[in-house]
Amino acid sequence: MRRLQLLTGGESHGPGLTSLLSGIPAGLRVDLDLLRRDMRRRMHGYGRGGRMKIEVDEVEIRGGVRGGETLGSPIALWIENRDFDNWRAVMDPLEIDQKKAELRRLKSPRPGHADLAGGVKYLRRDLRDVLERASARESAARVAAGSFARMLLAELGTEIRSGVRSLGPIGADSPTPTWEEMLGVDEESPLRAIDRTREAEMVALIDQAADDGDTLGGAVTVIAHNVPFGLGSYTQWDEKLDGRLARAVMSVPAVKAIEIGAALTASRGPGSAAHDAIERGDDGQWRRPTNHAGGLEGGVTNGQDVVITAYKKPISTLRRGLPSVDLDTLEPHRSQYERSDVTALPAAGVIAEAMVALVLADAALEKLGGDSMTELEAHHQATLAQQRAWPRR
Ligand code: EPS
């Protein structure tokens, strides 16, 4: 990111998670309801393990905000891990019980997880040292920071939503969803599915996978609506907003592929079917009868909805294990099981929303600038006036 910076810290079963978000202008009103709602939404979803019953994911604001308004200084956030109480002997930052730690030691790396690569990279004998930070628990810290980006975007009129598009094979061939379909996603439904008629099937598939000791992946789509025209740039490779969004959303745990708009379908057909016609309405608005491009042309937002789909591999912690090696004997051994989720797709959508919010807020600050929300809003209005007048003057 160019104007915003985000660092997170903390282990899955350590004392808690920290977020440090700098670059948010002064004078943004903190919407606590929104923050709490996002945190709750991330914990929700059929197929999660027992951990989500332990945590409450309450965000404590420890810096950068006074009297409910941002100060322009870094926003410091803290989320306590309730589960730390059960893990103190093994995870205390200063003193651990070696015997208990040995019992919780992870010594057969899980294929698909960071265990092997991280163990070799950081030369850790106990792969717990890898899994604790590679855990998706970290995403709570990102969702908290993403809420502040969402609050900023709301001031510009931009909204972001997501939904589960497919789970395993169910819904895998569904067409790219629209904003109207996103508005229909029921946040309280078991899976936050875009096509609610398929939820029962999805729930049954999760039950089957749980019985089999297996896991499931799928796809989530995020749509940003009413995004300012002209965010990102084609003038340098690393300024293209599609690349910036792809990088951010790819960082959501277990995501292995990204699609902008209807890219997969477009790649299989001719150009005449792939692109979105340009029309000018009587009201002076640019209209596109279709949005195959997913709101991005040349890596620049074009006034249409920004549509991004993330494809998640099945979670790599399987109860029945996978072929691996015991690090003590160096003999073949099934990978170890740690309590885990069967799928975390509904949560992945919420995390992806946070990442999209952070990138769009960053790009909006880059284009519109300002140390305060007052300036940002003035720059936004001036830019809108220029864009409305174009190309006549
Ligand atoms: C995760 C393993 C599970 C998940 C966790 C991600 O945690 P635990 O081992 O404590 O049961 O529940 O997700 C979260 C803790 C979370 O907040 O999303 C993993 O290994 O990635």
Reply yes or no on whether the pLDDT at 53 is more than 80: yes
Read off the CATH number of the domain in which 85 is found. Answer: 3.60.150.10
What is the per-residue pLDDT for 215? Answer: 96
Give the residue among 171, 17, 139 at the shortest CA–CA distance from 80.
17
What is the per-residue pLDDT for 361? Answer: 98
Supply the pTM of this predicted model.
0.98
Which residue in the block uniquely carries the two structure tokens 């855990």? Answer: 135
Task: Give the tokens for residue 47.
Answer: 């197929």
Report the C-alpha gap between 167 and 152 in whole angstroms.
32
Reply yes or no on whether the pLDDT at 221 is more than 90: yes
Reply yes or no on whether the pLDDT at 109 is more than 80: yes
What is the per-residue pLDDT for 337? Answer: 86
Residues 307-316 have pLDDT tens digits of 999 999 999 9
Residues 238-252 have pLDDT tens digits of 999 999 999 999 999
The pLDDT confidence band at residue 339, using thresholds 50, 70 and 90, is confident
> Which residues lie with the beta carbon below 6 Å from any ligand 1 atom?
12, 49, 51, 83, 131, 135-137, 139-140, 317, 338-341
| CA 159-162-163 angle, 5° bins | 150
| CA distances from residue 252 to 256, 269, 339, 382 in whole angstroms, order as listed | 9, 30, 20, 35
- % pLDDT > 70, the chain: 100
What is the per-residue pLDDT for 73? Answer: 98
The pLDDT confidence band at residue 340, using thresholds 50, 70 and 90, is confident
Residues 7-34 have pLDDT tens digits of 999 999 999 999 999 999 999 999 999 9
What is the per-residue pLDDT for 75? Answer: 98
Residue to mutate, 51, 58, 251, ligand 1, most ligand atoms under 8 Å from C-beta: 51
Q: Which residues pair with 61 in a beta bridge?
A: 77
137 CA to middle of ligand 1, Å?
A: 5
What is the per-residue pLDDT for 175? Answer: 95
Give the residue among 246, 250, 254, 251 at the shortest CA–CA distance from 294.
246
Which residue in the block uniquely carries the two structure tokens 């350590």? Answer: 14
The overall average pLDDT reported for the chain is 97
Residues 170 and 198: beta-carbon distance below 8 Å: yes
Reply yes or no on whether the pLDDT at 202 is more than 90: yes
Coil, strand or helix: which one is 9? strand
What is the per-residue pLDDT for 77? Answer: 99
What is the per-residue pLDDT for 45? Answer: 94
Give the residue among 79, 216, 203, 188 at the shortest CA–CA distance from 138.
79
The pLDDT confidence band at residue 204, using thresholds 50, 70 and 90, is very high
Residues 342 and 157: beta-carbon distance below 8 Å: no
Coil, strand or helix: which one is 271? helix
The pLDDT confidence band at residue 338, using thresholds 50, 70 and 90, is confident
Q: Which atom of ligand 1 is nearest to the CA of 139?
A: 18
Which residue in the block uniquely carries the two structure tokens 């309450």? Answer: 58
Number of domains in the chain: 1
Residue to mutate, 316, 341, 342, 351, ligand 1, most ligand atoms under 8 Å from C-beta: 341
234 CA to middle of ligand 1, Å?
A: 39
Reply yes or no on whether the pLDDT at 237 is more than 90: yes
What is the per-residue pLDDT for 10? Answer: 98
What is the per-residue pLDDT for 49? Answer: 86
Domain that holds residue 33: 5-389
